[in-house]
Amino acid sequence: MDLFDKCYNPKENSALYNAKVAEEKSLYSYFLPFEGTEGTEVVYKGRKIIMLGLNNYLEPTHHPKVKEAAKKAIDEYGTSATGSRFMNGTLKIHRDLEDALAEFLNKEAVIVFSTGYQTNLGIISALLSPKDYAIMDKEDHASIVDEWSMYHSKFARFNHNDVGSLENVLSKISDDAGKLIVVDGVYSMAGDIAPLPEIVELKNKYGARLMVDDAHLIGVLGRNGRGTANHFNLENEVDLIIGTFSKSFASLGGFIAGDKEVINYIKHYARSFIFSAAMTPASAAAVLASLQVIQEEPERIEELWNIANRMRKGLKELGFDIGASNTPIIPVYIRDKWKTVMMWKELFELGVYINPVFPPAVQPNDSLLRTSYIAIHTEEQIDKALSIFEKAGKKSGII
């Protein structure tokens, strides 16, 4: 059998097959090469489009302080650390960033990784042996599922945000096994927040540890954007906080925060940390500057929530199904693959870009349009976006 046969002749209804069908029908929605971005708008083939698909919630990406810090870091350190953190790649700016994040998150220690995906991969490879359990929400991010599949610890899954289901799973695991409950602070497709107080009660009852992936809520929720654990006053109960720098920190990379001894252990055993090149100096500097912006300009967080609440109210009034979202991530459920594509196409042609999402990224009958908002979206842009949603929704038969 030719190894490449699947590339040339994909199976019907496979991801590649559907992509080719969509391309033939001019409905392909991925890898679009934008020519420029101003944060709230992008340019595609010379046409300005309102962007409702970024995770750039506080919009530090174009902030003068952030851009200047990245340029200065290149002048001081060059463009790369040229090695892994474990060996020759640790720079002072990495340590400065880790210290600043630890203080911000009220944790003893932090280590930073080159990407958010590698951050999640590092946890299970370091902490869980084959007899230990990762206990995951069914809607946890794909990188968390991947880390289990790569390193073969035991795992169990519970129904999304269902604490009764979580307790049922925990009650069946031997007391002799190590247990790590893994949840997202906010779920990146549905936009709903994990019920941390109830999860913490079960964590303590069954002697488990708790890790919260706060990729989308660091900078957005909690006092000055300190995240989900801070929002619920549970920073001392959440054992590990992980996050990414590609959302509210205008950069690339990720981090793990926790007790000093635990972070030091992960530092010496996480394969994705040990065997990857360090964050580039410019990336680290951009995060440090973004952290400063978040703390110095708290009004950005307030504006973001005002915009998200206004859009959520408007979509509901138009008759769209937005599920249980209570964050700046607002899904529009279509629940049919090709209707979702058609709705995306109508919105795009009318001047709004959003992200269409299909199984397996969501449950089989949950195809949706994922929208997300930025602190600097204007009232005019939100009004225009709602008008376009109304036109596209009626034309597509969604509302």
Per-residue pLDDT of the chain (399 residues; tens, 9 = 90+): 899 999 999 999 888 998 898 888 888 888 999 987 878 999 999 999 999 999 999 999 999 999 999 999 999 999 999 999 999 999 999 999 999 999 999 999 999 999 998 998 888 889 998 889 999 999 887 777 766 666 566 889 999 999 999 999 999 999 999 999 999 999 999 999 999 999 999 999 999 999 999 999 999 999 999 999 999 999 999 999 999 999 999 999 999 999 999 999 999 999 999 999 999 999 999 999 999 999 999 999 999 999 999 999 999 999 999 999 999 999 999 999 889 999 999 999 999 999 999 888 888 889 999 999 999 999 999 999 999 999 999 999 999
Residue 268 appears among annotated catalytic residues: no
Check: CB of residue 379 under 8 Å from CB of residue 322: no
Pick the catalytic residue: 188, 272, 276, 290?
188
Boundary (domain end) residue, out of 296, 331, 354: 296
pTM score of the predicted model: 0.93
Q: Is 25 a catalytic residue?
A: no
Residues 246 and 363 in one domain: no
**Do 39 and 112 reside in the same domain of the chain?**
no
Domain end position, chosen among 296, 326, 345: 296
* Per-residue 3-state assignment (H helix, E strand, C coil) for 207-269: CCEEEEECCCCCCCCCHHHCCHHHHCCCCCCCCEEEEECCCCCCCCCEEEEECHHHHHHHHHH
- Token pair belonging to 330: 């607002």
Structure tokens at 292: 């400063």
Active site residue 216: yes
Q: Residue 309 is part of which domain span?
A: 32-57+298-396
Token pair recorded at residue 144: 């968390």
Angstrom distances, CA of residue 298 to CA of 7, 68, 87, 199: 49, 21, 38, 29
Residues 260 and 129 in one domain: yes
Pair (177, 127) in one structural domain: yes
- pLDDT at position 25, please? 87
Residue pair 319/325 in contact (Cβ under 8 Å)? The answer is no
Q: What is the pLDDT of residue 304?
A: 97
Residue 298's nearest CA partner among 242, 381, 364, 226 is 226
- The amino acid at residue 297 is E
Residue 235 and residue 306 in one domain: no
Considering the candidates 141, 203, 216, 231, report the single residue annotated as catalytic: 216
8 in any annotated domain = no
Q: Looking at the structure, do residues 99 and 169 belong to the same domain, yes or no?
A: yes
The answer to whether 282 touches 78, Cβ cutoff 8 Å, is no
Q: Which of 235, 261, 296 is the last residue of a domain?
A: 296
Q: Are residues 190 and 78 in the same domain?
A: yes
Catalytic site residue from 203, 247, 345, 377: 247
Residue listed under structure tokens 């937005």: 322
